[in-house]
Every structure is written in structure tokens, then in C-alpha cells.
A and B are shown apart, each in its own frame.
Chain A
Amino acid sequence: MKKERSFAQIFSKYGVLMVFIVMFIMFSIFAPNFLRVKNLLNVSRQICTLGICAVGTTIVLISGGIDLSLGYQLSVTNVLCAYLMVKMGMHPVLAILVCLVFGVTVGAINGIIIVKSGVHSMIVTLAISQVLNGVSYLFSRGIPIYGFPAGFSILGQGTVFGIIPVSLIIMAVIFLVGHFVLTSLPFGRYLYAVGSNEEAAKLAGVNTGKVRILAHTLCGLLSAIAGVLLLSRTNSGLSSNGAGFEFNVITACVLGGVSNLGGKGTIYQALLGVLIIGFLENGMLLMNVNEYWQLVVKGLLLLIAVVYDASVVRSSERVKKLKAINSENTVK
């Protein structure tokens, strides 16, 4: 097989990276204090929630599903962890474990309902998200919970060697593990098979239901981790903390190149999307862009990303077809 490289192919491979670099340079020039080490470290702390959730969402998107309940999962674990520590006096480690188990359970419930009922993941997780929204308010009654035991803030605010944020390390580990799972474990490859052709995967002997349930479960676990980190960084458990966050996560993933149609995507792409969203928010903030304008910009970005993705798929199929007509119709 010959490898032909056209501009379009190079752009489709490195285009998002170029966008990121251009954006980074622009902000370096126009946004005050953007390049300061302190700001960059600050961003790295802020994007951890987004980054960890993006790994989970990438896994679910590759499997051909979507998790719209992620934002409120974040809210619930956020509030639950705070509630357990402050109102119940639970030890932080125990509280965190309870939250992780909760996340796994919610994810598994999502997955099991989707697989067993055959209802589209978008609808199931939409319904679950409303349930979770209610649950989080039942715990918090809409009032912020704060006053955590000393030491809890290390996760979100602490540093190693006095400079590297702990949360950044946690995120990096999750990205590496995610990459390993997707490329080297059978489960990871099954995700791609299920996402691109579920029937085929089933006929090949893959337990596709299990794969999809596991994908949602992992997503639940990761959003619980993200919820705890978020709590540790902001120091206050609030039900509105995760509202609408799934939108940010999906935007980041799709922007990076993870397909919303299933079967396509890498951790590298998710990371790139997270970096773009993270620095975009930060840069706009530093430039004093109105919060509502930020929403407009993010919405448009998501739109551009999905339209671009769809058009690339269409045009590459067409190019392939036309090439086939004009070349040899032979197999040797």
C-alpha cells in the first residue's frame, strides 16, 4: 500500500494541533499574564476535571455511546463527598472511596439499562442526569457545604516538589493508563470494534454488552475521581458545580477529533481537545471576555468541529471512490 500525503491528509492529522498552537501564540501576545508560569500551572489545575472526564467520555464515544449524565454525576460526587466529610464526620479517604463506588455504580446502571433495554444511550443518560440532579440537591439543599478536614485540599491544591500540582500528576497517570487500555488491552480494541460495527464484533465472539457496560462504568468512575478533585480544589461542595459540564467535555473530545459517531478516537486527541478548551477559557478570562460570549464561542467551536468531522468523512469516502474508478480495478 502506497502512502500518499496530500495537504488535506496532513491537515486532518495535525490540523487540531495547529489550531492549538496558533491559539496559544495568539493568547501569549494578546492576553496579559498568559505566559506566566503561575498562570500555566493554574490552568493545568483547572483542566484536570475536564481532562479526567474527557478520558471517560472518549471511551464511551468510541464504543458508540454518549454519557449526558456526566455533569450531574460530577455534581453528586462533589456534594456527596462534602456531605460525608462535613455532616457525617467521615474520614476523607473513606469518603472518597464511597464516592468512587457511587460513580462506578451510576456508570454501571447507565450501561446496564442501555444494553439491556436497547434504548439509545443519549436518552437513558439524559433521564439519569435529571435523577442525579435531584439527588445532589437532596444532599446539599442548594447550600454550599464547606469546612473540610485538613489535608483534603492536597489533592486539588497540593504540589509535589513545591511546583508540580498533585492533580496534574493524577490526570497524567489517568491519560497514560487510558492510552494503554485503548491501544494494548483487548477491552480497548473491542471498544473500537463495538463502536464501528457492533454486530460484527458480536459475531466475532466479543461480549459486546459487557464491553459497553464496562465503558459506561469506567466513565462513571472517572467522573467520580474528577468530582472529588474538583471539590478539593474549590473547597466547597455545590450542586451547581457540575451542571452542564458534560457539554464542555464532549466539546473537548469532539474538537480533538474523537468521533461522535463511534469507533474513532484516541487519548491524544482527547488531550488536545482538553488543552484547547482549557487554554481558551483561561485566555478569554484574562482578556476580560464576557462569560456569555465565552459560551457563544464554545458552542460555535463544537459546531465547527462536528461539521468538519462529518465533511471529512464524506469527502474522504468520495475521493476514495473516484480514485478507485480511475485506477486499476485489479487485485494482484
Chain B
Amino acid sequence: MAENILELRDISKLYPGVTALNKVSLSFRRGEVHALCGENGAGKSTLIKVISGAISPTAGEIVVEGKTYSAMTPALSREEGIAVVYQEFTLAPVMTAAENIFLGDFPKKGIAIDRKTMADKASKLFERMNIDLNPREYVKNLTTGYQQIVEIAKAISRDAKILIMDEPSAPLTSNEIDSMFQIVRTLREEGVTIIYISHRLDEIFGLADRVSVLRDGEYIGTKDIADTTKDDLIKMMVGRTLSQTFPPHGRVSDEVVLEARSVSGNGVKNISFQLHKGEILGFGGLIGAGRTEFCEMLFGRYPIQSGELYLNGKRISPANPAQAVSLGITLVPEDRKRHGIIDKMSIQDNLTVSNLQRLRKGFIIDRKAQVGYAQKQVDALKIKTPGLHQLVKNLSGGNQQKVVLGRWLGIDPEILIFDEPTRGIDVGAKAEIYKIMVQLVESGKSIIMISSDMEELLGMSDRLLILAKGRFAGTLEREEFSQEMVLKYSSGGGGI
């Protein structure tokens, strides 16, 4: 098997009480794009860390170009030409693109850095990737897409033969994703092996040659992309076929709960819409189209500059989130780790932080009521945890999201804004979140859902409002739903 550049043989990684990887055997061919997928917690990240040398496997062998190792180290993997583009960017913003690329290995003239050679070498790398970028530009001035290009350049600058990309498309807009794909294809043509980890099946089918699936630390199988379908992959990932990811929900009433009339501010202009009782209104558009920014105004995080907002026919202007909440408007934010959970607090504290005013006896927090409330939400939302005092950071993404949601349910909100409700959440937990959303609208609540996941947007929404570049771009009724229409409006090419 000379064509295998990297082979993993019976790799196991045991942590106290947890088997992160169980006898995983997997091989990667030279010059292929090999996708790695699986639900959260399937062991993808652990596997990458084993390959990059960040952790040592408990058992098994790693064979790189015929050489057998029982464990890698970061230095060894770099030497063998293995490079990783991490999910979180690892760039220093106050330094130039070239400096970031060669950080740790600056070309030198005497004792000083040779800036000219460094810039030239960086230019050559960009040329190789077919990218026009000034190596002397500061990283802080670059868009996210370009920053990732710098990140990739940094990874391949040391003659990488194997490039591991961990969820590279997560922070990118769809145009940026296209150019990232181009780069990946260029590298493949040069014989670089790319290990591509992604949640998005569309990308895997658009880019990969082969795909391997992990589940609960076990290797499930590898398929040629040509011989498989999305349903097959999902089946492999979850171990069951998800016949109906999106639960249907009843008819929407005509009663208008929330109405916006030409609302402007916070980077968006002239947005009008009506939200009906029991409706899921989807907000579509590219990342950075102003959807989150608009909802921040509804939630009182930023002031509305002009236009009017009516709640049940009454004019409102929430000046801060606390006011919005007291009006019955709540937000499940996009960035769960930063804006959703309070990671150093327990599940119980997280669940009750918005309701402590209601859970008191006199001036003092009523512990019993607090525990009762938290337990009720844990049961109702099926939050998987060993106990209420578990720190919320130890939960999986899906359970964290349920905690954020459980916080709001106690105040009985009328309107729930979900910003990317299932980002970074595995398939099983997704289905549960969808079920909860449907229960909410059927009990008469209304939901605004921002989503960049096309299937979710089309599957869950009753109606769509699409923004582009901070402006209204179009609405779609359920009958008109199609991916093409959403994309057309999103890219600003719609009618109206």
C-alpha cells in the first residue's frame, strides 16, 4: 500500500471513564481530500490531536510514509509535513500576514528579521494558492476569509504533505467558502493530502474524494464519495435513519404579535415585517447580512434609530435587554460560549439566572424553588447531566443550548429569537431542539429563527424574510420555498 501516506492502526485513546477512540484504523491516500465526519463527541478532534501529536494514543500505531510511530509529538508531526488549520484562528492581529505565516521560523539576516525575503516567500505561497494578497498587510485589517487564507498559508509554508482542516468553513461566508474550496483543490492537484472535517454534508459532497465516519469513538467505515448518498452518511453517523428531521407544525393564526415598520439602526436599514402568533419566521441571508444585528435591536441590545416596533398593537422601544425580556422578547444567541451560557456557573445557576427575581422569599433566593425550577427544565428539555451542580461548560453543545433555552421558558416569553439555534450541535440533539421549537409555537409562542443552515431554514420556517447587505431583500411563503430562491435573494439579486 505505497499510496497510503498516512495510516492509523488500532488507535485507542482512553481517558478515565471514557473511551474517546476505540481501535480506530484508517488510511489516507496521497493527494486525496478525505473528509472525516461524525456527530459531536464522535472522536474526530481526538483523532486529529493524535495525528498532530497534541496527545499520545493509549494504544496503536501511526504510520507516516512507511515509518511507524507509537505516538507523534508536535515537532515530529511538523517534521513529517503534517499541518493543521484549527477551527479557532491562531493569528496575531497586530502582525502582518507574512509575519504570521513565518512566526516561529523567521528568515533572518544576521540577527534581524529579513523582511524582504519573508514577504517574497509569502507572496510565492499566495501565488501558489492563486490568491492576490499583500503579505505586508496587517492581519487585523483582513476579512475573515483572508485571515483563513493566511492560516492555510501558514500551515502549508513548511512543505506540508498532509493538511488537516478542522471545520474550516464555519466562520466563512458562502463566497469565501467557494474560494477556500478552490485553494483546497489547487493543493490537492499538487499532491497534498487534505483531511477535511466538517459538519456540513453539502461541503463533503462538493469537495471530498472519500469520506470516513466515526461514531462514539469507533470507526464506522470509509466510502468513495461517488458511491454514497447523504442519507447513507447520516445513517452511518447516527446509526439510524432520521426519517423526519423537521417535525411538522400546525397552521399559523392570523393574529399579529410583533410588527416592525421601517426599522433602521445598527447597520441595517428599513426592515418591515409581521410576526404572527404561532409562527416560525425564518431570517435568511449570508453571514454578515445584518440578521443578527437586526435582532439585537429587537432585543434592546442596540437602539433603534428610526422606524417603529409594535408588540400586540402597542408601540414598544426596548432600551436594553432587560426591558425586552420584561416585554416577553427573549434571545437565544448565536455565540453560545460567549453570549449564551455562563460557563463557570452550574447548570442550576445558569437556568435560573434570568428568573432569580421570581424565585425568592422576601429578599433571599428561595433555594428550594430554584432547585425545583432547574429540575423542571432539565426534565422537560431532557438535558443530559449527572446533576444540577454540574458546570455548564462540561455539557455538550446541544445540552448547553437547551440550558440557554430553559432559562427563558421560566419567564413565559411571547417571542423567542433563535440565532443559529443548532450551530455546532450534533444531528441527534438538533432533532430535539426542533421538537422543542415546534412545541413552543404550538403552545402559542412565536419564533424568529436566524439560520445559515439551508435545510434547517427551509425545513423549519413557516415564512422567510431575507436580508442582504443590511437591507430587506425579499420574503418567501412556504409554497415558494426553494434553495435557489433563498440564494438569489441572499446575494442581493432578487426582484423588488
Contacts and interface: CB of A to CB of B under 8 A. Distances in A.
Given A322-B266, A329-B288, A329-B469, A193 B175 contact: no
Interface string B106-120: 101001110000000
Contact of A327 (B100, B111, B469): B469
A200 B267 contact: no
A329 B289 contact: yes
A330 B493 CA distance: 14
B495 interface: no
Contacts of B100: 193
A205 B176 contact: no
Interface in A305-332: 321-322, 324-332
Contacts of A325: 267-268, 288-290, 293, 469-470
Interface string B267-304: 11000000000000000001111100100000000000
B146 A331 contact: yes
A205 B104 contact: yes
A227 interface: no
Contact of B104 (A1, A184, A204, A327): A204
Interface string B436-472: 0000000000000000000000000000000001100
A301 B303 CA distance: 31
Given A201-B92, A206-B104, A329 B173 contact: yes
A205 B100 CA distance: 12
A192 B94 contact: yes
User: Chain A interface residue count: which class?
Assistant: 20 to 34
Contacts of A206: 103-104
Interface stretch (B4-12, B137-145, B217-225, B327-335): B137-145
Nearest to A324: B288
Q: Which of B92, B111, B142 has the most CB of A within 10 A?
A: B92
B94 A200 contact: no
A176 to B, nearest CB: 14
B408 to A, nearest CB: 26
Interface in A188-246: 189-190, 192-193, 196-197, 199-201, 203-206
B113 to A, nearest CB: 6
A313 to B, nearest CB: 11
A274 to B, nearest CB: 22
Interface in A157-202: 180, 184-186, 189-190, 192-193, 196-197, 199-201
B86 interface: yes
Contact of A185 (B92, B104, B111, B173): B111
A196 B89 CA distance: 12
Contacts of A45: none
B470 A326 contact: yes
B487 to A, nearest CB: 13
Nearest to A196: B92
B95 A192 contact: yes
A263 interface: yes
A204 B103 contact: yes
Interface string B387-399: 0000000000000
Contacts of B141: 1
B488 to A, nearest CB: 15
B312 interface: no
Given A329-B175, A331-B143, A331-B176, A189 B95 contact: yes
Contact of A199 (B90, B146, B179, B290): B90
Contacts, number: 99
B75 to A, nearest CB: 8
Nearest to A206: B104
B34 to A, nearest CB: 22
Contacts of B146: 331
B99 interface: yes
A200 B104 CA distance: 10
Contacts of A201: 92, 103-104
Nearest to B148: A331
A196 B93 contact: yes
A189 B470 contact: no
B210 interface: no
A116 B145 CA distance: 37
Nearest to A187: B111
A215 to B, nearest CB: 15
A180 B111 CA distance: 11
A201 B105 CA distance: 11
B90 A197 contact: yes
Nearest to A317: B140
A87 B100 CA distance: 53
B228 interface: no
A327 B288 CA distance: 10
10 contacts: A193-B92, A196-B92, A197-B92, A203-B74, A321-B293, A325-B469, A326-B470, A329-B287, A329-B289, A330-B175
Interface of B: 74-75, 78, 86, 89-95, 99-100, 103-106, 108, 111-113, 132, 134, 137, 141-143, 145-146, 154, 173, 175-176, 179, 266-268, 286-290, 293, 469-470
Given A184-B113, A329-B289, A332-B132, 9 more contacts: A1-B137, A197-B93, A200-B92, A200-B103, A263-B92, A326-B470, A329-B469, A331-B143, A331-B179
